[in-house]
């Protein structure tokens, strides 16, 4: 009956959002510094309470957005013969919600780890991915699985839907600046918009999706061979394809312009788009700082700095 916790972290897609849904490869990076943790504490009554920044109260009385989490918790409780247990589920998150940083996947991963730990059950990585898909399917409609794979990964991953994610060789030096537009992105809506474009303009959609797939291979080689400028070009070119797919946002385009004017080697949206975050590359810390200051001055909600370091260092 001792409380049990599980944790996870944010993710950043370097290349391949949206095209990954159509079985093109993608590369994503775990952000261990931006963490989320979940603690399950047993109660003496039979109330199942959720305690979080966005909602506190009986978990089934919460807003519509909790439907995915509730379904996940329901299924796990049945599996562990504890459907009637009373508990507090406390979510402590440093991830902004709906900004392309994988907050729903991070929550799912942390909840699953906490529940398996609480009920003292072994949890394989494969099972974790399968379970997290329960809530992701409800929240995003047609998830590729990349968010969950990265929220539970220690290293940058090469991801193709339906296959096991693999760690990729990473020999790059540089800085990644992440900036939150403050506008709520809607992954489900963006994924549906791309699906619709594939119906109305299959040629355009297919060209963009395949183009993003090719760029993932270029990015993989740039990461393996310390070619920062090439990765920057991949960012710029993938942003053009993402714009054609209709998932950017005027504010993101503006932020990308500011980053480029301040020395970024390349910039793009990250995650579902239609709001959310932008990422860009800087060759050194001074340039990264200049970009962050310029973005802050233009009113972005928050920025993060992630040094990209070779894995042997």
Site residues (CB under 6 A) for ligand MEV? 13, 17-18, 20-21, 100, 102, 140, 143-144, 146-147, 187, 191, 271-272
- CB of residue 272 to ligand MEV, shortest distance in Å: 4
- CB of residue 216 to ligand MEV, shortest distance in Å: 12
- CB of residue 199 to ligand MEV, shortest distance in Å: 18
- DSSP state at residue 20: G
**25's tokens:** 């490869």
- CB of residue 48 to ligand MEV, shortest distance in Å: 28
- CB of residue 194 to ligand MEV, shortest distance in Å: 8
87-93 vs 48-51, strand pairing mode: parallel
Nearer to ligand MEV, 6 or 100 (CB): 100
Nearer to ligand MEV, 89 or 108 (CB): 108
Distance CA 173, CA 62 (A): 44
Residue in the shown chain whose Cβ atom is closest to ligand MEV: 144
Nearer to ligand MEV, 137 or 251 (CB): 137
List the helix and strand counts (H, then E) for the chain.
9, 11
Distance CA 88, CA 2 (A): 12
Nearer to ligand MEV, 144 or 306 (CB): 144
Helix, strand, coil % in the chain, rounded to nearest 5: 45, 25, 30
- CB of residue 242 to ligand MEV, shortest distance in Å: 10
Report yes or no: 270 and 246 within 8 Å, Cβ to Cβ.
Answer: no
Nearer to ligand MEV, 187 or 306 (CB): 187
Nearer to ligand MEV, 20 or 138 (CB): 20
For residue 151, give the nearest of 25, 30, 67, 272 by alpha carbon: 30
- CB of residue 132 to ligand MEV, shortest distance in Å: 12
**Cα torsion 150, 134, 99, 196: sign:** positive
Long-range contacts of 117-126 (CB under 8 A, 24+ apart): 117/4, 117/5, 117/6, 118/3, 118/4, 118/40, 119/80, 119/82, 121/80, 125/152
Nearer to ligand MEV, 59 or 220 (CB): 220
**49's tokens:** 């309470």
């Amino acid at each position: 009956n001792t409380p049990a916790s599980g944790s996870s972290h944010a993710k950043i897609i370097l290349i391949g959002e949206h095209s990954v849904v159509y079985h093109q490869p993608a590369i994503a990076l775990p952000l261990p510094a931006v963490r989320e943790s979940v603690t399950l504490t047993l109660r003496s009554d039979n109330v199942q309470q959720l305690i979080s920044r966005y909602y506190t109260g009986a978990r089934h009385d919460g807003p519509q957005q909790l439907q995915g989490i509730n379904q996940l918790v329901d299924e796990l409780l049945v599996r562990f013969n504890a459907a009637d247990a009373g508990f507090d589920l406390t979510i402590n998150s440093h991830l902004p919600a709906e900004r392309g940083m994988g907050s729903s996947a991070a929550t799912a991963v942390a909840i699953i780890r906490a529940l398996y730990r609480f009920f003292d059950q072994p949890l394989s990585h494969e099972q974790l991915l399968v379970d997290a898909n329960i809530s992701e399917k409800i929240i995003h409609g047609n998830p590729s699985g990349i968010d969950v794979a990265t929220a539970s990964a220690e290293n940058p991953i090469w991801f193709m839907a339906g296959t096991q994610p693999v760690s990729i060789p990473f020999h790059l030096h540089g800085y990644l600046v992440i900036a939150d537009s403050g506008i709520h992105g809607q992954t489900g809506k963006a994924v549906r918009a791309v699906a619709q474009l594939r119906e109305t303009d299959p040629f355009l959609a297919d060209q963009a999706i395949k183009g993003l797939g090719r760029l993932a291979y270029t990015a993989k080689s740039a990461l393996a061979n310390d070619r920062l400028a090439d990765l920057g070009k991949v960012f710029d070119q993938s942003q053009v394809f993402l714009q054609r797919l209709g998932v950017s946002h005027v504010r993101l385009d503006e932020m990308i312009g500011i980053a480029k004017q301040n020395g970024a080697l390349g910039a793009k949206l990250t995650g579902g788009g239609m709001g959310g975050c932008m990422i860009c590359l800087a060759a050194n810390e001074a340039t990264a700082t200049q970009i962050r200051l310029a973005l802050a001055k233009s009113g972005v909600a928050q920025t993060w700095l992630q040094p990209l370091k070779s894995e042997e260092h």
